[in-house]
């Protein structure tokens, strides 16, 4: 999704403008999208939510499955429109991102200069004639700060689940048109271990307000059927186009 990410700089980006986002073609080849635990309730109504392991950091991150195979986003149509009621925040923040500065708790706003949304002639400017940040920068700063806070709480959520041995590998066999496909390499909350938690641990879980996210994740797995239906539709449309 990102091609050339650099920190926003008033000299370098004095003439930089941001075009209005009219489509999501930039995300057409991504089959997963990171989601924070605060998004689970809305995302679970559309996407299966699973956890992927970052072995280098020895941690887990929740993602929404938006495709059955790498390189295919089943929710971006040929016209670039997102064909679902909820778009993950990480997609909506494009072409901006946050990067750690090296100082603890400090981040800087970055922009993808390779994005088709970035222009020197069209759209809303990042800086005014005096070199001061415009409302675009202020809005992005506020939005990314909120996402960063949600990300920190999501990391705490995943750390608790890992520390309490709540993750279990997902091994699911699904029909992919005329074949059977294995969904593996990701994790889900182990429902049996959840039900067998001690009263002390369960009350701790409730006190941290993690329970809604856990239940949303478990219920979201039913959305795998939605992915299969979307895949079948794509295959049928491609076959029809070839026949014509």
The pLDDT of residue 180 is: 66
Count of domains observed in the chain:
1
d(Cα 60, Cα 166) in Å, to the nearest integer? 12
Q: Which of 56, 75, 79, 53 is nearest to 66 (CA)?
A: 75
- The model carries a pTM of 0.89
Judge contact between 186 and 213, C-beta under 8 A.
Answer: no
Residue 51: Cβ within 10 Å count: 21
The pLDDT of residue 128 is: 92
Q: What is the pLDDT along the chain (244 residues), one digit of tens a residue?
A: 677 889 999 999 999 999 998 899 999 999 999 999 999 999 999 999 999 998 888 899 999 999 988 899 999 998 999 999 999 999 999 999 988 776 777 889 999 999 989 999 999 999 999 999 999 999 999 999 999 999 999 999 999 999 999 999 998 776 656 666 677 789 999 999 999 999 999 999 999 999 999 999 999 999 998 998 898 888 888 777 777 6
Judge contact between 31 and 70, C-beta under 8 A.
Answer: yes
d(Cα 52, Cα 222) in Å, to the nearest integer? 18
As a whole number of Å, the CA-based R_g of the chain is 20
> Which domain does 16 fall in, by range?
5-243
Residue with tokens 């980006």: 13
pLDDT tens digit string along 144-158?
999 999 999 999 999
């Amino acid at each position: 999704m990102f091609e050339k990410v650099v920190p926003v700089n008033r000299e370098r980006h004095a003439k930089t403008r941001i075009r209005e986002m009219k489509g999501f073609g930039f995300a057409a080849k991504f089959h997963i999208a990171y989601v924070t635990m605060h998004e689970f309730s809305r995302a679970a109504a559309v996407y299966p939510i699973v956890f992927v392991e970052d072995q280098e950091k020895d941690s887990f991150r929740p993602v929404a499955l938006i495709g059955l195979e790498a390189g295919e986003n089943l929710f971006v149509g040929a016209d670039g429109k997102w064909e679902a009621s909820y778009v993950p925040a990480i997609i909506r923040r494009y072409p901006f991102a946050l990067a750690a500065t090296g100082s603890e708790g400090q981040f800087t706003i970055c922009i993808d200069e390779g994005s088709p949304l970035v222009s020197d002639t069209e759209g809303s400017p990042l800086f005014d004639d005096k070199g001061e940040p415009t409302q675009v920068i202020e809005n992005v700063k506020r939005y990314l700060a909120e996402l960063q806070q949600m990300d920190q709480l999501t990391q705490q959520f995943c750390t608790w689940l890992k520390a309490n041995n709540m993750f279990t590998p997902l091994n699911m066999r699904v029909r992919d048109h005329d074949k059977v496909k294995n969904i593996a390499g990701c994790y889900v909350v182990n429902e049996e271990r959840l039900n067998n938690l001690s009263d002390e641990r369960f009350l701790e879980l409730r006190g941290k307000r993690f329970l809604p996210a856990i239940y949303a994740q478990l219920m979201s797995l039913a959305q795998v059927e939605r992915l299969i239906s979307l895949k079948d539709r794509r295959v049928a449309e491609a076959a029809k186009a070839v026949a014509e």
